[in-house]
Chain A
């Protein structure tokens, strides 16, 4: 079956290539000249259509830049706040129905990770917990991250403090909150808070901590995450010194597309060292406790997840954005296609006698196709290149203007200003794709033009 499909695709590609060769093989300077001069001859029409194509291209560059920007901001923010590109998390059960987020003796696990993932830039260990944070005037349930802030320089780049000093988070029994949390708890830097949480053995434990900093909000993730020193988190949960909640791996950018393969490799390596693993389950860790509690095992199991798994509750944002982009893309391309086909029909009607003449004096049909395709492709190429430049400049301008995102949207975009990520590769593929669409739209009219009979050269009017 696979071979049938493969050879069919091969035959199709070969046929397409042969056809393209026949049509464009003998392209001469004069073909290009005729195409160019015809475009110039009808410069108003060309400018109008070209302008439309350029505008559509520019708009699509912005749209895809926005989509990529959201994705990149989300990835960057999330990989700082709560997940690595890949995570090795622990689920530890003393009794069957009680699981805790613990990787015991994590240095050993880290050694396996280092060996199995050479694509890794660095790894951080994060303690995990879920505790009641109590102030004088209120309380709230928050996810607690145990962090060694000195070991994570990237953290300071993403988390910007509104007040306080991030370096103080290295001191024991300290806490970092986000603005919305601090507002709700009605606390300021220097205030004391109490953390209350159940330990692995089911007994409640408390710890008094000092608020050392309040960070600017970073969307949804900053509503339920807060940070304290890893050491203090262990104290709160009465954990062994060598334990952590999860190891978060940060990969080199070029290795990111290979994440699934790297995860599979890491799983194998961990299993080979005798670690038990949870079955792959593309969900964030905090929804897994219920499931794990219902399973009949005790001791430790490791869970290897990707950032996409941990952020799967966000995927609808990305999907909605992609869906919106795809819809707009379809509408705009349809407009371009209709515009091109319409213009081609007009051009062909105007040039019926010329086409007939060329056919009469010995031009083959595919050369007529070539003439018209070249004209469309030339217009398409110039227009898309102009559009891409326009789009890139607009994106740079909008980025520089730092347009604020409304609060509601911030929650999902994980950013407080609009960011368009425009890459050379995107621009090149936009040029290629839209020029190709231009060519495809021109194909049918061109084929029809080639079908015009040479006798039409003898018609004296029209």
Chain B
């Protein structure tokens, strides 16, 4: 299994006035292609910070972050944006859909930004994905007309529509009730299997971790270790 994400000695400092907060204190992490990896840790441990570095929306104070074989420190803002567009899909804790666009338009948006596909190709892909997340009937709806779980499904469809190599999800179930959260996780797991997409998601919910193929525990800005979850073992992985 080759590494699609490789973080070595990553340090992230935030300046809070005169005080410096070290959110990450030298993190090493390798993520293999096709993993369904959970990053677990208590609040303030640095999960979001780490995902931001991997997602190329933030830069490390020191250390190396490689995504899809590219050293992110060497890329320009424009190149980073392109990397995010073509290689990474994002699922946000609070869904972050564009409120004035329909479900279909929200999912289509990354494809429009790519400017690679014809209208028909885009349409086919969007409808296919909406079908797979179970929202084919809601294509014309606005996000405000959907439940939290449905919104997160739209967000998943949006994250996957470009067939990215990596999908990052920062506490994707934190704003959902536990049953809906379970369903969302199951959907992500299924797409991880069928599409061979690498998923990295953070959580501090043990039930959510149970879905992962591996769990990386962090605390206080450091990686404590990597383990296979009990559930995964039970499933025979």
Within 8 A of A (CB), among B89-136: 89-90, 92-94, 96, 98-101, 105, 108-110, 112-115
Q: How near does chain A come to B90, taking the closest CB pair, in angstroms?
A: 5
Residues of B within 8 A of A453 (CB): 57-58
Residues of B within 8 A of A457 (CB): 57, 90, 92, 96
Q: Give Cα A361 to B108, complex, Å.
A: 12
Residues of B within 8 A of A33 (CB): 100-101, 105
Tell me whether B94 and A460 are in contact (CB under 8 A).
Answer: yes
Most chain A CB within 10 A, of B48, B82, B113, B159, is at B113
Residues of A within 8 A of B89 (CB): 361
Does A357 lie at the interface of the complex (its beta carbon under 8 Å from any beta carbon of B)?
A: yes
Residues of B within 8 A of A41 (CB): 99-100
Does B52 lie at the interface of the complex (its beta carbon under 8 Å from any beta carbon of A)?
A: yes
Determine chain A's interface SS by DSSP, over half rule: helix
Known: A455-B52, A458-B92, A458-B170. Is A364-B81 also a contact (CB below 8 A)? yes
Q: How near does chain B come to A362, taking the closest CB pair, in angstroms?
A: 2
Within 8 A of A (CB), among B30-86: 48, 52, 55, 57-58, 77-78, 81-82, 84-86
Does A6 lie at the interface of the complex (its beta carbon under 8 Å from any beta carbon of B)?
A: no
Tell me whether B96 and A353 are in contact (CB under 8 A).
Answer: yes
Does A359 lie at the interface of the complex (its beta carbon under 8 Å from any beta carbon of B)?
A: yes
10 A–B pairs (Cβ distance < 8 Å), ordered by A: A33-B100, A37-B101, A38-B100, A357-B90, A357-B98, A358-B98, A455-B57, A455-B58, A457-B90, A457-B96
Tell me whether B110 and A360 are in contact (CB under 8 A).
Answer: no
Residues of B within 8 A of A357 (CB): 90, 92, 96, 98
Known: A354-B96, A360-B57. Is A28-B85 also a contact (CB below 8 A)? no
Tell me whether A361 and B84 are in contact (CB under 8 A).
Answer: yes
Tell me whether B98 and A362 are in contact (CB under 8 A).
Answer: no
Residue of B nearest to A36 (CB): B100
Q: How near does chain A come to B36, taking the closest CB pair, in angstroms?
A: 21
Known: A30-B109, A363-B81. Is A454-B98 also a contact (CB below 8 A)? no
Tell me whether B84 and A34 are in contact (CB under 8 A).
Answer: no
Q: Give Cα A364 to B109, complex, Å.
A: 13
Tell me whether B90 and A361 are in contact (CB under 8 A).
Answer: yes
Our pick among A37, A361, A454, A455 for the contact of B113 (Cβ within 8 Å) is A361
Q: Give Cα A357 to B93, complex, Å.
A: 12
Most chain B CB within 10 A, of A26, A362, A367, is at A362
Q: Give Cα A402 to B158, complex, Å.
A: 63
Q: Please, how many residues of chain B have a CB less than 8 angstroms from a CB on the other chain?
A: 33
Binding site for B on A (CB under 8 A): 26, 28, 30, 33-34, 37-38, 40-41, 353-354, 357-365, 367, 453-455, 457-458, 460
Tell me whether A458 and B112 are in contact (CB under 8 A).
Answer: no
Q: How near does chain A come to B57, taking the closest CB pair, in angstroms?
A: 4
Q: How near does chain A come to B38, taking the closest CB pair, in angstroms?
A: 18
Tell me whether B101 and A28 are in contact (CB under 8 A).
Answer: no
Q: Give Cα A455 to B59, complex, Å.
A: 10
The total of Cβ contacts below 8 Å across the A-B interface reads 79
Binding site for A on B (CB under 8 A): 48, 52, 55, 57-58, 77-78, 81-82, 84-86, 89-90, 92-94, 96, 98-101, 105, 108-110, 112-115, 158-159, 170
Most chain B CB within 10 A, of A40, A41, A353, A364, is at A364
Residues of A within 8 A of B100 (CB): 33-34, 37-38, 40-41
Residues of B within 8 A of A365 (CB): 77, 81
10 additional contacts (CB under 8 A) given A362-B85, A458-B93? A30-B109, A353-B96, A361-B90, A362-B110, A365-B81, A453-B57, A454-B84, A455-B52, A458-B52, A460-B93
Q: Give Cα A264 to B98, complex, Å.
A: 65
Residues of A within 8 A of B84 (CB): 360-362, 454
Q: How near does chain A come to B130, taking the closest CB pair, in angstroms?
A: 17
Residues of B within 8 A of A34 (CB): 98, 100-101
Residues of A within 8 A of B101 (CB): 30, 33-34, 37
Known: A30-B108, A30-B112, A38-B100. Is A361-B158 also a contact (CB below 8 A)? yes
Residues of A within 8 A of B52 (CB): 455, 458
Our pick among B81, B93, B115, B159 for the contact of A26 (Cβ within 8 Å) is B115
Residues of A within 8 A of B77 (CB): 365
Q: Give Cα A365 to B101, complex, Å.
A: 20
Most chain B CB within 10 A, of A359, A361, A365, A457, is at A361
Residues of A within 8 A of B96 (CB): 353-354, 357, 457
Tell me whether B112 and A28 are in contact (CB under 8 A).
Answer: yes
Tell me whether B81 and A359 are in contact (CB under 8 A).
Answer: yes
Q: Give Cα A453 to B112, complex, Å.
A: 21
Known: A28-B112, A33-B101, A458-B170. Is A360-B94 also a contact (CB below 8 A)? no
Residue of B nearest to A357 (CB): B96
Q: How near does chain A come to B192, taking the closest CB pair, in angstroms?
A: 19
Most chain B CB within 10 A, of A358, A365, A454, is at A454
Tell me whether B93 and A360 are in contact (CB under 8 A).
Answer: no
Tell me whether A360 and B90 are in contact (CB under 8 A).
Answer: yes
Tell me whether B108 and A354 are in contact (CB under 8 A).
Answer: no
Q: How near does chain B come to A83, taking the closest CB pair, in angstroms?
A: 61
Most chain B CB within 10 A, of A358, A364, A460, is at A460
